[in-house]
Amino acid sequence: MHLSRDVVLLITHSGDFFTIDRVAEALSKKGAQPFRLDTDKFPLEVQLTAQFDKSKSYHKLEYGTHSISTEQVQAVWMRRIWEPELSKELASKYREACIRESQATLDGFWDSLKGARWVDDLERINAAHNKLRQLRIASEVGFVIPQTLVTNKAESAREFFHQVNGKMVSKLLTALSYSMEANSSFFLYTSAVKEEDLLDAESLRYCPMVFQEQIPKQHELRVVYVNGNVFVGALDASVYTASKVDWRKPGVETGSWQHHQLPDEVVHRLQTFMSKFGLLFGALDFILTPSGEYVFLEVNPIGEWGMLEKDLDLPISSAIADALIP
């Protein structure tokens, strides 16, 4: 079945739910036709054809009973790109090449959509994932940021530990692969560092890490930015113990999300920060200290927000739909 020209492509994976459904529903209410592309289903269940003839090119995407051409796509929501699910019957010696070629083919398809409105452009998303750039720009726009050290030198990590009076956490600059995520929650999430942890710090020579001062918390904030609009959820930090420094860890009892309003000055800095990355969407983490100071931690340009819409009835999906179809 062919769709009309007012198609909005939703790029995600087959395990995604709630947020993708809410955005699709909001787009339908605006008269647009959402087309969900589960990237993990390519190439086994999704067919993609790109044809070039002299000065013309034609791209077609088929998934289930629906098909679209790039000329029909008015806007694109970049939610998630997932690794292909390939048959177990495929010989392992071919698997890496098939994944690589599939991802390269999708990259070419994204390029064919350059005339559509993106939330957000892939190049800008990739640039914004740079956490050191985030800290630099956050500081430039006036946000308070934690004292931070990135190093592969063991002695520097030990010196920093004493510099912050033993209140130190560690994190990574990049996300782990899917296979590593299942077994490495210590490295995937922000973790408190004890002095005995640094006895084996010489292993840093194999992999640098990020170390930050541990900021005292009154609330942890998830701030969702959508095209100038700001939606905030707050967690009471007293609900969970100091050793559990990251509310995203599985099994951490966080309590319920609460409404929170940012001061106008923080909102203005946030808007300036996002404009410097050229992003229409971002999920940002802040700490509100007991003294009332807002401390910037990071921004995830494709971060989660479903819990805020579900628990606080914040109209984030509608705001995303408005950003896609102004």
Q: Please provide the DSSP assignment of 110-167 as one string.
A: HHHTTTSEEES-HHHHHHHT-HHHHHHHHHHTT-B---EEEES-HHHHHHHHHHTTT-
For residues 87 and 94, what is the distance between their CA atoms, to the nearest angstrom? 11
Model confidence pLDDT, tens digit, residues 221-244: 999 999 999 999 999 988 765 445
Using 50, 70 and 90 to split pLDDT, how confident is the model at 9? very high
Q: What is the distance between the alpha carbons of residues 280 and 263, in angstroms, rounded to a whole number?
A: 21
Q: State the DSSP code for 215.
A: P
| Mean pLDDT of the residues in the chain | 88
Cα separation of 53 and 55, whole Å?
6
Given a cut of 80, whether residue 247 has pLDDT beyond it is no
Closest to 76 measured CA to CA, from 119, 107, 114? 119
Rounded to two decimals, what is the model's pTM?
Answer: 0.88
> Mind listing the pLDDT tens digit for each residue in 30-70?
999 999 999 999 999 999 999 998 888 889 999 989 999 99
**In this structure, what is the dihedral angle of CA atoms 275, 279, 283, 285, given to the nearest 10 degrees?**
-30
What are the tens digits of pLDDT across the range 266-288? 999 999 999 999 999 999 999 99
Q: How far apart are CA 26 and CA 30, in angstroms?
A: 7
pLDDT in tens, 88-108: 778 777 888 888 999 999 999
Q: How far is residue 250's CA from residue 248's CA, in Å, rounded to a whole number? A: 6
Which residue, among 283, 309, 300, 320, has the nearest Cα to 118 in the 3D structure? 320
Question: Are residues 155 and 209 in contact, defined by beta-carbon separation less than 8 angstroms?
Answer: no
